[in-house]
Amino acid sequence: MSRLRLGVNIDHVATIRNARGGLHPDPIRAAEIASEAGADGITAHLREDRRHIMDDDIGRLIGGIALPINLEMAATEEMLAIALRHRPHAACIVPERREEVTTEGGLDAAGQHNHLKPLIAKLSDAGIRVSLFIEPTPRQIEAAVSLRAPVVEFHTGRYAHAEGEERATELRRIADAAALAAKNGIEPHAGHGLTFDNVVPIAAIPQIAELNIGHFLIGEAIFDGLAPVVRRMRQLMDEAR
């Protein structure tokens, strides 16, 4: 089985920085530390309301970090223009509702097909690897196929919050969806709400190529430091393969 990539999401370093409106802690410094500790990529979500990552962070990340940058973005003209200006390695299209506390579910790629098609084409034409942050369902995977997205990222929030039999059901949904995506030539990724306690069964799904993990790593780093926490996540993921 191939090595599972770890994308470290640094959004919530910016959440702490923005609490005081200054420059500290700097999410780019967090990206450097994550890189040295074994991350394979850095993920940052430029929200429309700029509650954590800001425009300037995107330029600094792409200019200053050698790892591939995965820009999470809503499917808007504003975000498209920013992505085309900075040309990150990857752009992950996520759903956004301004009042939400976090990204509560996957993108309705099937329902928004006609809106997404030209946006995905423009990103792809610019050499940006497009990913769709979707629920692990056949309907959304079929939409990704028809939209010619090379990557999907399954929203693991329902799995992360479920317990017992319900969690086992969610895990099966993700495993089935990963197999279906791979069968259709789409690279499956996963992320949202992953922790030391719940990452192993997801990391063991053979088709999944990348996990994007943020909130837990940054929270845990307060107690143990970012480098040891990234290394521990890396180790759990490697052991699961």
Ligand X SMILES: NCC(=O)COP(=O)(O)O
- Does 45 interact with ligand DXP (rule: CB under 6 A)? yes
| Alpha carbon of residue 71 to chain centroid | 8
- Does 208 interact with ligand X (rule: CB under 6 A)? no
Site for ligand X in 26-65 (CB under 6 A): 43
Residue 67: both structure tokens together: 């790892």
- Does 198 interact with ligand X (rule: CB under 6 A)? no
The partner residues of 187 in beta bridges, in order of sequence, read 151
189, interface contact from ligand X, ligand DXP, none, CB < 5-8 Å by kind? none
Q: Which stretch binds ligand X (CB under 6 A): 33-41, 108-116, 177-185, 211-219?
A: 211-219
Any catalytic annotation for residue 86? no
- Does 72 interact with ligand DXP (rule: CB under 6 A)? yes
Any catalytic annotation for residue 24? no
Any catalytic annotation for residue 72? yes
- Tokens 């919530």 locate to 12
Taking residue 78's Cβ as centre, other Cβ atoms within 10 Å add up to 11
- Tokens 């450097």 locate to 32
Torsion of Cα atoms, 34 then 17 then 219 then 227, to 10°: 20
Omega before 25 within 30 of 0, i.e. cis: yes
Q: Is 38 annotated as a binding residue?
A: no
Phi, psi of 71 (to 5 degrees): -90, 115
Report the SS3 class of residue 196.
coil
Q: From the CB of 192, what's the least distance to ligand DXP, in Å?
A: 4
Residue 43 and residue 57 in contact, taking contact as beta carbons nearer than 8 Å: no
Catalytic-role residue among 32, 45, 187, 210: 45
Q: Residue 72 or 135: which CB sits closer to ligand DXP?
A: 72
Residue 89: both structure tokens together: 């390695």
Residue 86 and residue 126 in contact, taking contact as beta carbons nearer than 8 Å: no
Q: From the CB of 181, what's the least distance to ligand DXP, in Å?
A: 18
Q: Is 173 annotated as a binding residue?
A: no
Binding residues for 1-deoxy-D-xylulose 5-phosphate are 11-12, 47, 52, 102
Residues in touch with ligand DXP (CB under 6 A): 9, 11, 45, 47, 72, 94, 102-103, 133, 192, 214-215
Catalytic residue numbers, as ranges: 45, 72, 192
Q: Interface residues with ligand X (CB under 6 A)?
A: 9, 43, 133, 153, 191-194, 212-216
